Amino acid sequence: MTGHVILPRIGTAAAWRDAARGFLSAGVPPEALRWSDGTGATGLFDTPAEVPAVTREIRVPRSFAGLAQTVVWHSDPARFDLLYRFLWRLRDRPALMQDRGDPGLAQLRRMEKAVRRCQHKMKAFVRFREMGDPSDARRSFAAWFEPTHHTVEPTADFFARRFADMDWRIVTPDVSAVFEGGALRFSVDLPRADLPEDASETLWITYFRNIFNPARLKVKAMTSEMPKKYWHNMPEAAAIPELIAGAPARAREMAEAAPTLPPLRMERVQEAAEAQAARHWEGPQEGFAAALSGCRRCPLHAGATHVVPGEGPSAARLMIVGEQPGDQEDLQGRPFVGPAGQLFDAVAQAAGVAREAVYLTNAVKHFKYVTRGKRRIHQRPTVGEVHHCRWWLEAEIARVRPRVVLALGATAALALTGDGKGVMARRGQIETGRHGGPVMISLHPSHVLRTPDAAAKAELRALLQQDLAAAWKIAEAALV
């Protein structure tokens, strides 16, 4: 004769634990017990078993307690019995819990995994619909769900933690969970009610249809994670067959479509973007030097010693822009101090321009060079480097606001006007710079230095002096 233990459908885990403790302490072997949750048939000769009182301390490994708390929710009618049988064996072999090769434990672990998976899928696939008025202070939602195992009770707390500021109920053919006014309760055999249409559901389906990429169809990957048994309670799943059927044609269409011409607005957009974007560094003057020395806009910083900012009065009327620091400038951190700088000083003096009265700077602030033997040979900066450094140059122009800017050489002309070609043909003339002010083009002093022929050298020097004087005159008179 076996004793029949009937566990309640709500609060099953606690009931099983209490019963198992009682039977174990009384030494009742597993063969003498038949467990059920009251939904199955009763045996002919079964008598309801009385749970004995716990008379001694029962100790089980903590890992078993966790396992049992999950496995009791499995749908297999034999679950209680399997757990008790394993518990019985565990009495004198607590190390059994670590033996993953034991068939009894392996079976329980499999069941545990199935319940956990079912719980996880429930968290994922329950779909609420709004029951009440969206403007209610406490909104109200309901869902119909069909879990594989008895997972509503152990999972309901997850929903209570997540959706605490609204009322909700998850109705299932088994146990249903109802959360109202912050209190959670369970109920058996709650009838399935019709849920009202929900406008957000339409939006969700739109989202599901469009987030799908038809070029990478992987139906098996989908169904292994979202088995078909869940589909009929998920609104978006109705779209799946159609999405699958249409995918190859959509992918082919994309591949075969001829490339189209860019839309007309493209040019406009890009121009506007260029005009809109911050054109130069913006910040308090005190921060300029620090920001400049931290510049990593191009790779030139890596080989340079100093970054070389401009120098001169902060309200200078004339700004003179050279190409980039040279060997000496790089070592000293000041502009126009090398051979070309000395030539410039001489020419400026001859032209009647005081160096202290003008703002001197360079189009590029770091020295670019290659090493030959022990010498650093100057290299002309690329268009990209000039472009990056305009960030600083234009900040200087915006601050000093000179009446005229004198561009020495092609690099300075490129930085200031966007065009560095034909400097000798353009020199001595006034052009409008990218910053909107007047720019006079001239040649670079190093051009004079590099010219071997003495007569040509003198001529170039005279031209430079002439331009410098003209620019100074304009700056002083501010006729433009």
Ranges within 164-183 binding another protein (CB under 8 A): 164-166, 182
Which contacts of 92-99 are long-range, i.e. CB under 8 A and separated by 24 or more positions?
Answer: 94/60, 94/61, 97/61, 97/63, 97/64
Q: 85 vs 250, which CB is nearer to another protein?
A: 250
**Is residue 128 a contact residue for another protein (CB under 8 A)?**
yes
Which of 87, 59, 82, 60 has the alpha carbon at shortest distance from 71?
Answer: 82
**Is residue 106 a contact residue for another protein (CB under 8 A)?**
yes
Q: 127 vs 150, which CB is nearer to another protein?
A: 127
Scan residues 379-438 and list those touching another protein (CB under 8 A): none
Number of CB atoms found within 10 A of residue 92's CB = 7
Task: Tell me how far, at minimum, the Cβ of 93 lies from another protein, in Å.
Answer: 10
Scan residues 220-239 and list those touching another protein (CB under 8 A): 220-222, 225-226, 234, 236
CA–CA distance, 85 with 82 (Å, rounded to integer): 5
The H or E element spanning position 399 is helix 383-400
Task: Tell me how far, at minimum, the Cβ of 199 lies from another protein, in Å.
Answer: 9
Number of CB atoms found within 10 A of residue 249's CB = 10
**Is residue 349 a contact residue for another protein (CB under 8 A)?**
no
**Is residue 129 a contact residue for another protein (CB under 8 A)?**
yes
Q: 13 vs 295, which CB is nearer to another protein?
A: 295
Q: Which of 187, 202, 293, 314 binds another protein (CB under 8 A)?
A: 202
CA separation (Å) from 90 to 17, 59, 97, 99?
15, 10, 8, 12
The stretch among 42-50, 248-256, 340-348, 423-431 that binds another protein (CB under 8 A) is: 248-256
Task: Tell me how far, at minimum, the Cβ of 102 lies from another protein, in Å.
Answer: 8
**Greatest Cα-to-Cα distance within the chain, rounded to the nearest angstrom:** 129
CA–CA distance, 97 with 83 (Å, rounded to integer): 12
**Is residue 217 a contact residue for another protein (CB under 8 A)?**
yes
Contacts of residue 125, defined as CB under 8 A and 6 or more positions apart, other chains included, come to 145, 226, 230, 233, 234
Bridge partner residues of 3 (DSSP) = 33, 47
Q: Which of 1, 277, 455, 478 binds another protein (CB under 8 A)?
A: 277
Task: Tell me how far, at minimum, the Cβ of 145 lies from another protein, in Å.
Answer: 10
How many of the chain's residues bind another protein (CB under 8 A)? 77
**Is residue 139 a contact residue for another protein (CB under 8 A)?**
yes
**Is residue 137 a contact residue for another protein (CB under 8 A)?**
no
CA–CA distance, 465 with 350 (Å, rounded to integer): 7
**Is residue 208 a contact residue for another protein (CB under 8 A)?**
yes
Residue type, 458: A
Scan residues 285-344 and list those touching another protein (CB under 8 A): 296
CA–CA distance, 354 with 474 (Å, rounded to integer): 15
**Is residue 257 a contact residue for another protein (CB under 8 A)?**
yes
**Is residue 124 a contact residue for another protein (CB under 8 A)?**
yes
**Is residue 273 a contact residue for another protein (CB under 8 A)?**
yes
**Is residue 161 a contact residue for another protein (CB under 8 A)?**
yes
The H or E element spanning position 178 is strand 175-180
Task: Tell me how far, at minimum, the Cβ of 423 lies from another protein, in Å.
Answer: 28
Number of CB atoms found within 10 A of residue 31's CB = 10
Q: Which of 48, 262, 436, 452 binds another protein (CB under 8 A)?
A: 262
CA–CA distance, 266 with 274 (Å, rounded to integer): 12
**Is residue 212 a contact residue for another protein (CB under 8 A)?**
yes
Q: Which of 135, 276, 285, 371 binds another protein (CB under 8 A)?
A: 276
Task: Tell me how far, at minimum, the Cβ of 138 lies from another protein, in Å.
Answer: 9
Q: 54 vs 205, which CB is nearer to another protein?
A: 205
Kindly state the tokens that stand for 168. Answer: 């909700």
Q: What strand order describes the sheet that includes 3-6? A: 33-36, 3-6, 47-48
**Is residue 211 a contact residue for another protein (CB under 8 A)?**
yes
Q: Which of 47, 55, 187, 200 binds another protein (CB under 8 A)?
A: 200
Task: Tell me how far, at minimum, the Cβ of 310 lies from another protein, in Å.
Answer: 25
Our measurement of the distance from residue 46's CA atom to the centroid of its chain's CA atoms, rounded to an integer in Å, reads: 63
